[in-house]
Structure 1
Amino acid sequence: GLYEAPSSQLYKTHTKVDYMTVWSPNNPVQNGMLCIFQNHYYQPLWTLVGAGAKQLAPSSRPTASVIPSGVKWIQSRVQKLDPDKNCVHLENNQKISYKYLIIALGLQLHFEKIKGLPEGFNSPKIGSNYSIHTVEKTWKALQDFKEGNAIFTFPNTPVKCAGAPQKIMYLSEAYFRKTGKRSKANIVFNTALGVIFGVQKYADALLEIIKARDITVNYKYNLVEVRADKQEAVFENLDKVGETKVYQYEMLHVTPPMGPPDVLLNSPVSDGAGWVDLNKETLQHKKYPNVFGIGDCTNLPTSKTAAAIAGQSGVLDKTISSIMKGKTPSKKYDGYTSCPLVTNYNRAILAEFDYNAQPLETLPIDQSKERLISFHMKADMMPYLYWYGLLKGYWGGPAPIRKLLHLGLK
């Protein structure tokens, strides 16, 4: 979908606009197809939906209701970006020229890249919190669990919200304890990564929780196949080429491989991997000065989270304003991102960090500790900030609050 400037004039096959955003309402890319969703989703809530702590309905609102007034929403698929001609090609031979372009296409889920998985979701024992179609299957599998392996996966690709694959693991473990099934559950986290978390301070805290709750973690194990009829999950050992291991499961939560939308692959605006190629401080394209990017579709070397997008939005606002006035952008993005690591039904670790994987905490307390306040920020405050702050342009991240709470010293 596209945001079109309100002052533009629309013609039958060609639209001229001064300012445009190539945009998708929260990852409408599924199985290689870019669909126009009529609903917009606050996906961070799905961690709690999959664990039965929240209902699915509050995560959704009509897309039209969150688009600013005075903005035209062109409901058409973007087929090609042509920055050399300042033009975007759409379906039905329509094209739109622009003066400034913001690319915010999100990323693409690739359930189909795991053999047997798409049809495996017909099984009541497999779920994924990453899709509107499969998040409630996670809760169903959790409720139906009797005994055996509960397996949680992390793929060998960049993902959005890298903490989410283990959040549902901690919540599932807590649910098993609450329902008296913990002694019958063997909880396994198979991750393609070599560490539990990329910031040492929070990794240390998570490893303590993992040890205390008797959770098994296998590093460099990547899910490649699901045999739903046999309740088997096949993992490749990334340290030993060609070696695989088969696990029986009673419950399986899958984090799918992810990648850039098809329209960005081999695009002049993208790097070799298909991500929009940006200056990491200004969010301006490295080659095209009137092209900008934000969010999961970019190659910014930070975690792909809603919190990162909030921080980026404040910088992008200043960058574009400066460029439009013929000035050099001075506001810089430091890579701020946040990941509220939910560890129980009333506790969370509030991880905040920058490009250098250094903690950049807002509150004047140790946020690596499990806290009730961190959970309520995740479950109650952040959805409100999203709907009424970020989407309306009022929330550019917590930097001003951090400066105030730390007396300007951090």
Structure 2
Amino acid sequence: MFTSNYKYNFIDVFSGAGGLSEGFFNCGYNPIAHVEMNGFASDTLRTRSCYYYLKKTGNLNYYYNYLRGSISKEQLYEKVPKEVLMTVINEEISDKTYKSIFYKIDDIMKKDNIKEVDVLIGGPPCQAYSLVGRASTQGGMENDPRNDLYIQYARFLNKYKPKLFVFENVPGMLTAKDGVIWKRIKQRLRTVGYNIEHRLVNAHDFGVLQHRKRVIIIGWRKDLDLHYPEFARMHVNAIVNDLLNDLCHLAPGEEHNEYITEPNEYLIESGIRDELDILTDHQTRNIRDVDRDIYRIAIEMWNDNHRRLHYTDLPENLQFHNNRVSFLDRFKVVEGDMESAHTMLAHISKDGHYYIHPDIEQARSLSVREAARIQSFPDNYYFEGPRTAKFVQIGNAVPPLMAKGIATAIKNLLDGLEK
């Protein structure tokens, strides 16, 4: 359905809210299908597919009317062919379902006359590999079934035999189960016909204003003369406050979708904001008065030579947790005056204590839109579902700017095959 004017195509598995896919879309790839088990994330992918279809056909006014609340989601979906929405497959990838998922993808390829898949992208849910998850879960997630989702990924490789694949995950994947899982992953991916290499990369090197380390595994079919690509490093002259200062000030629990200044150079050059954008999701959670008092203390300390608040630094009347030995950094201010914020995690869906806005006058946690901006999502990217679901989608996502850098490097490799 998107195939015209697109040179290469891809399948996105374990898609989440589509951060990785967004980077490939921006580089001119055609998405054959997205496979995602979460219902809210799948709706987000459908809505984003509507955006790209309507943009291609010159009908973006329907999309912006949806963001304004002038039309419903159902009315938006009526403005695009049903085939566009059917590219999003809302199913869990498992031993029981993978064959039916293949059938649906085969049907899409047949209808769109797609003969081959150029790239498979995706990263299985990473909680089972993350150091935080292993530390906070009894048994270190040793028996978590997500440890073995790479087997499902390999099935897609074996079925569609793309020229290349991109497998993204957390650094902890390399050390999970004392390295046994990583050894199994390498063996499985090579067994289905691929040479593979991996690199540890930081999202900040792609122009994202966030310190976010990830493992990027890239594989290429053994019959192709390819190699691990070099990613172009980007240095931008911007600080985290450049993501925050044009947005309306909020008190805890408020939502005001208004810009208060024109976009700065970073917002424009990164594609995060443009003149047509309709601001959405600038909403923040409510908090207790005592937590707001703690936030102010944390912000004052950060503004005093970048000192971090430890829980035991608080006055006794503000210490409510019995645990005063571990997780002492549970209150953390976002680094507004620095070039990168600390890593955005899905934990922001549970509370905002680790993502305190640096403005002491507001003394609140980040809004949904501010979190999305730190992840480099453009303001025209709409997340479906309640606020908690939006935060989960954002925290789990690959930053689109980082994904664009990866997609560009992959495109250069594919272009080289045609010379």
The structure with the greater share of residues assigned to helix is: 2
Higher relative contact order (CA 8 A, sep 6+): 2
The structure with the greater share of residues assigned to strand is: 1
TM range (shorter): under 0.3
